[in-house]
Structure 1
Amino acid sequence: MSFTKDYLQKILPAFGSRPAHPVLRFNPSVESARAEPETIKVEVFDYNIKTIEHHEYNSVYACEKFKNNDRITWINIDGLRKSDVEVICKGYDVHPLLVEDILSVGQRAKMDELDNILFCLMNMLYYNAASDSIETEQVSIVLGKDFVLSFQEEANRDVFNPVREKLKINTSKLRIAGADYLCYSLIDIIVDNYYTVLELLGEHIETLEEEIIRRGDTRSLALINGLRKEMIILKRNVGPVREVINGFLRSDSDLLNERTTKYFKDVYDHIVQANDLVETYRDMMMSMQDLYLNKVNLRLNEVMKVMAIVTCLMAPATVIGGIFGMNFESIPYLHNKYGFFAAVALMLFIPVVMIYAFKKRGWFKR
């Protein structure tokens, strides 16, 4: 079994394919284990209309002082360690069920409301141009009274830099509005980044389509199958976000200002369009597979056509050679000194006439 696995791993890259994404083998009934990082990064933005403080820590214990300080506080934690998540969630009265969702692996995008806390879990998407694959990072956002907690798996990348830059501007909407608007901004930037990934994936699909039309070999089929796997990942991560945004729109929580609802409606429109794009790309992938199969069939038909023509052209020579090769004593021109040349001439003349007839019928047209 191990030999077969190793062999497949060696030959798959040669055709441009790769094993299925691990998310396809995720089993939610089995408790998942995440490798805990050695260090974490805690970033805090504590602000109001007039002032803002930006701090970075390597421990969650330093965040307790920002609770109930009459300011809006955003605490972003990069790296999930069970003990640290439990400590900060306990300090901000986050329900243990939500803690379990934060620490989960491969969780479906969702939105919950427990004990005057709004919680949403989504995936940030990145496009890896080197491997032509979509990479995901789970992010959990907790909205409470005057605070937002965000939990990320990795510390080396996220999509929140535009939000950080806007917070530093005194006149920005983020500084004036409440924590609900900050929560909206984080969700909005995640959804907007989906379009960046979709655009890059769309360019790759167009390039692959041109390659199939121009060449269409076995490598193209492997690339099609690889892109189909990525479309499954994309569909699984983008589709449920529509329900997440819808949950905020239906919520009657006091944490959400009525003026903020129109912004969530805008995000809802964006995620609906993103879902439509995903469906369009899936249809394109199916069309590309049909295009590849049609090209293969066309190539096979061309080969069969050439073989049929060659067979037809050789048939007269075979028949004439067979007739004059029969073992009879009396055959016309058998002992004639010009018999051989006459037979060869006839073998060449008939195929020339056949080629002319085939051409008149348009059999050589592509």
Structure 2
Amino acid sequence: MSPQKYLRYLMLPSLFGTARTKEILQVNPTIIPQREEAKDVKIFVHEYNATSIQEYGVESASECLLRHDDGFVSWINIDGLRKNDVEIICNNYGIHPLVIEDILSINQRPKMDEVDNILFCLLNMLYFNEQKKSVETEQISIILGKNFVLSFQEDAHRDVFPPIRTRLKINNAKIRQRGADYLCYSLLDMIVDNYFIVMEKVGEQIEIVEEEVIRSSNTRSLARINQLRKELIVLKRNFAPVRDLLNGIIRSESELLEDRHTKYYKDVYDHIVQAYDLSENYRDIIMSMQDLYINNVNLRMNEVMKVMAIVTCLLAPATVIGGIFGMNFDLIPYIHNRWGFFIAVGLMLLIPLWMLYVFRRRGWF
């Protein structure tokens, strides 16, 4: 076991994940971000039609030449971003410089733009980090043009598109029979479907914390609740803009989108709306857990105060009797009687026992 797992609980800021708060909320669009050049870059090209497909990887971006065969659809996927590679590929396909700037940006809000007869989509892939119990994002840009699709991913080692590559190898697959806009739909659909996998992981964490809060509420439980609220902020920050993105595609009158494929984009739109509603339900559960935690803390405090009040009441008769017989007067009843001490002690015991009986009958404990 690593000691860091437990040592972090000795520091209160670490316990409540304040660094995560800064990571989520520190977004300033007025500052030009400095993107680090990717160390590893993988470029894969798929060129296909209904009867044939060619799949190959290229070493440099300059090898991604524009194909002029109208019957083929070209899909170029770039894993790992370098400014020079992005500019070479985009210039080869006549992509506007503003779109290139968006591709190279950091922490962009998901959006959809139509620029110079291309359709540009920018959104985030979501992954769940099992070690940190947090949601991680990876920005992905998708460009739809006439008979081509360009996709840019930040991380060269994580990808959710292998199922699409597998479907492309099947001769009679629907994706092979359709145009580039159907491929664009397939990419968006795969990303949105992956959101539900991440939400399942978050839901499992919510169930674990809920059990912990019900069984034994402590400071660690509150920290876990606070952490889950931050992860839900990440989810909602991505779901709402993607909903607007898909709505913009559905309403678009671009010639790149075939009317027969509109229903497919509407299906993805329904999925993202469902994901957004589910995140709202998760948020309600988190708020309920926080209220439950506060109620449990108050209940324990009330139990402690009740015990202390009962003890104080039981000691009150002995205090009064001892105070009376401890006064410095000669004319105190039974003060010179040989049974006076035993009578006083007996009263000190009998009165609390009678009080316990009365409290019990009234259901005070």
Fold shared, TM-score > 0.5 on shorter chain:
yes
CA shift in 2, pair 1:9/1:140, >3 Å: farther
Q: Unpaired runs of 5+ in structure 2?
A: 1-6
Cα shift at 1:59 = 1.2
1:269 matched to 2:270: yes
Match of 1:109 in 2: 110
Partner-residue secondary structure (3-state), 1:64 = coil
Contact 1:145 1:179 in 2 (8 A): yes
Contact 2:102 2:108 in 1 (8 A): yes
Match of 2:17 in 1: 17
How far apart are the structure 2 equivalents of 1:93 and 1:9?
Answer: 53
Partner-residue secondary structure (3-state), 1:239 = helix
Cα shift at 1:171 = 1.0
The amino acid of 2:223's aligned partner reads: A
Contact 1:23 1:106 in 2 (8 A): no
Q: Unpaired runs of 5+ in structure 1?
A: 1-6
Match of 2:194 in 1: 193
How far apart are the structure 2 equivalents of 1:327 and 1:9?
Answer: 57
After TM superposition, the structure 1 stretch with the greater mean CA deviation from structure 2, 58-67 or 208-217, is: 58-67
Contact 1:40 1:78 in 2 (8 A): yes
Match of 1:3 in 2: none
Cα shift at 1:17 = 3.3
Cα shift at 1:38 = 2.8
Match of 2:4 in 1: none
Partner-residue secondary structure (3-state), 1:255 = coil
Deviations 1:311-365 (A, max 9, x none): 000001101101110110011111222221211111111111111111111111x
Match of 2:3 in 1: none
Cα shift at 1:15 = 3.1
Contact 1:15 1:219 in 2 (8 A): yes
Contact 2:120 2:141 in 1 (8 A): yes
Match of 2:205 in 1: 204
Cα shift at 1:85 = 0.6
Paired residues, number: 358
RMSD: 1.6
Q: TM-score, normalised by structure 2?
A: 0.95
Match of 2:76 in 1: 75
Deviations 1:182-226 (A, max 9, x none): 000000010011111111101111110110010110011111111
Match of 1:178 in 2: 179
Match of 1:295 in 2: 296
Cα shift at 1:22 = 1.7
The amino acid of 2:181's aligned partner reads: D
Contact 1:39 1:58 in 2 (8 A): no
Matches for 1:50-199 after TM superposition, within 5 Å: 50-64=51-65, 66=67, 68=69, 70-199=71-200
Matches for 1:20-31 after TM superposition, within 5 Å: 20-31=21-32
Cα shift at 1:13 = 7.2
Match of 2:351 in 1: 350
Cα shift at 1:9 = 9.8
Deviations 1:151-183 (A, max 9, x none): 000010111111111111111111111110000
Deviations 1:17-45 (A, max 9, x none): 35215231010111001110133110111
Match of 2:322 in 1: 321
How far apart are the structure 1 equivalents of 2:357 and 2:99?
Answer: 80
Match of 1:47 in 2: 48
How far apart are the structure 2 equivalents of 1:14 and 1:149?
Answer: 41
Partner-residue secondary structure (3-state), 2:64 = helix
Deviations 1:244-303 (A, max 9, x none): 000110111111111110000101111111110111111111111111111111111111
Cα shift at 1:58 = 2.8
Contact 1:141 1:150 in 2 (8 A): yes
Question: Percent identity between the aligned chains?
Answer: 61
1:363 matched to 2:358: no
Q: TM-score, normalised by structure 1?
A: 0.95
